[in-house]
Amino acid sequence: MSPLARAQRDEEALRVTKNLLAVMPKIDLHNHLAGNVPEWLFAETARRYGIKLANPEHPFSFIAGMPDFLRLFEQIADSFRTPEDLYRASYESIVDEYKKSNLRYREVHYSPTINSHLDYADSMAAIAEGIEHAKRDYGVDGRIIVAIYRSQGPDVAEKLVAEMAAHPNPAVVGLGIEADEIVGPLPLFDRAYAMARGSGYRLTAHVGERDNLAEVLYAVDTLKVDRLDHAYVLATDAAATQHVIDSGLHIASAWVSVIAHHGRGPGSPFRTMLDSGLDASISSDDPGINNVSLNDSLLDAALDIELPDSYLVSQNYSQLDAAWIDEPTRSSIRADIDDALLTLAPSIAPTHKEE
């Protein structure tokens, strides 16, 4: 397959790209609720419960590496102490991204096992209510991916999946896994993934964000996932890349993660992935904590690794194609994207896969 075309933008081309991003309704398949919460909401909630913050005026400002990031991530999750708290986190994070990025559909990852204040059923009901009210008020739809927290081990994961089976919620569509990928090897969670598959849930896995190619292949071949998260390590192995291409799996990547772990510039593994033909897209990941919107990420990636506007459009449709929703919902969202893009120049007209 030929490498993806490169786009070097002059002032007019940059204006066109920014206009495209402003107009196009966005799909966002890889993001985490605790990382989505607007800073003002976390500050407000922390004050209410007396949660000690390193910098009360700017509670997201002290991030320094994965350990500090996860401590903050867990602290944010711990601030959801009532269903109303979790509802507000769900609703406000969606509305915030809608206003910044014209969000149309989001699949949000959430690890209920790092929140000791709410049980599983109440957590899912609160998040689902936030999604439903965001849809009512702004037309933004969404679903929930329940996430295993790697560092808690397989017993906690299996109990979590048992709760998923015992308390089904229409908004909950899949199982994923999050936290530091060097803690808690993926094979420990075989049974949890098998339980989820047996209960009818779709599967994804946060793997290969750094350098563990074996976990990517394990997720594909043993866990039989329906989608991958991150997987930048594929850029180091052509045979593994072709194997994933042959599997037909979509990879929900995140630009903030790429630059955090691999830096910027033409040597970006994400650019290598795209040039190799992998079906990889750009999601927001943790836009609240990172103080960066989905629009910001798309524009930054486009400029840094010279992504053409046609890719920004096609990756959005690819995320929609990979979303875990019913076909009438998918068709409705696709029509909204089509209609918005038809207002733009023919050079960036819809390029999605036909049904």
pLDDT in tens, 271-305: 999 999 999 999 999 999 999 999 999 999 999 99
pLDDT (average), residues 302-329: 97
Whether residue 355 is contained in a domain is answered as no
Q: What region, left, alpha or beta, does residue 65 occupy, with left being phi > 0 and alpha being psi -120 to 50 degrees?
A: left
Instruction: Tell me which residue of 273, 149, 152 sits closest to 208, measured CA to CA.
Output: 273
* Side-chain-facing half-sphere of 41: CA atoms under 13 Å: 25
User: CA-based Rg of the chain, rounded to a whole angstrom?
Assistant: 19
- For residue 350, pLDDT over 70 is answered with no
Instruction: Tell me which residue of 139, 110, 140 sits closest to 126, measured CA to CA.
Output: 110
Whole-angstrom distance, CA of residue 245 vs CA of residue 251: 10
- For residue 266, pLDDT over 90 is answered with no
Residue 231 near residue 225 (C-beta atoms within 8 A): no
- For residue 352, pLDDT over 60 is answered with no
Strand partners, 32: 109
pLDDT (average), residues 80-88: 97
Ranges assigned E (strand) in the chain: 26-32, 103-110, 141-149, 172-178, 202-203, 206-207, 227-230, 250-254, 280-283
Whether residue 272 is contained in a domain is answered as yes
Whether residue 1 is contained in a domain is answered as no
Instruction: Give me the domain span that covers residue 273.
Output: 11-348
Whether residue 273 is contained in a domain is answered as yes
Whole-angstrom distance, CA of residue 128 vs CA of residue 125: 5
Cβ atoms within 10 Å, residue 345: 11
> Is the torsion defined by CA of 227, 35, 171, 164 positive or negative?
positive
Whether residue 353 is contained in a domain is answered as no
Residue 241 near residue 263 (C-beta atoms within 8 A): no
Whether residue 133 is contained in a domain is answered as yes
* Angle, helix 294-304 to helix 11-23, in steps of 10 degrees: 150
Q: What pLDDT score does 177 carry?
A: 98
Whether residue 3 is contained in a domain is answered as no
Total domains present in the chain: 1
Percent of the chain with pLDDT over 70: 96
Whether residue 55 is contained in a domain is answered as yes
Cβ atoms within 10 Å, residue 339: 11
CATH number for position 255: 3.20.20.140
Q: What pLDDT score does 345 carry?
A: 61
Residue with tokens 């194609």: 321
- For residue 117, pLDDT over 90 is answered with yes
Q: What pLDDT score does 63 carry?
A: 67
Contact residues for 124 (Cβ-Cβ < 8 A; gap 6+): 112, 144, 146, 167, 169, 171, 172
Instruction: Tell me which residue of 239, 326, 234, 325 sits closest to 280, measured CA to CA.
Output: 234
Whole-angstrom distance, CA of residue 225 vs CA of residue 228: 7
pTM: 0.95
Whole-angstrom distance, CA of residue 160 vs CA of residue 120: 8
pLDDT (average), residues 241-248: 98
Token output for 312:
């920004």
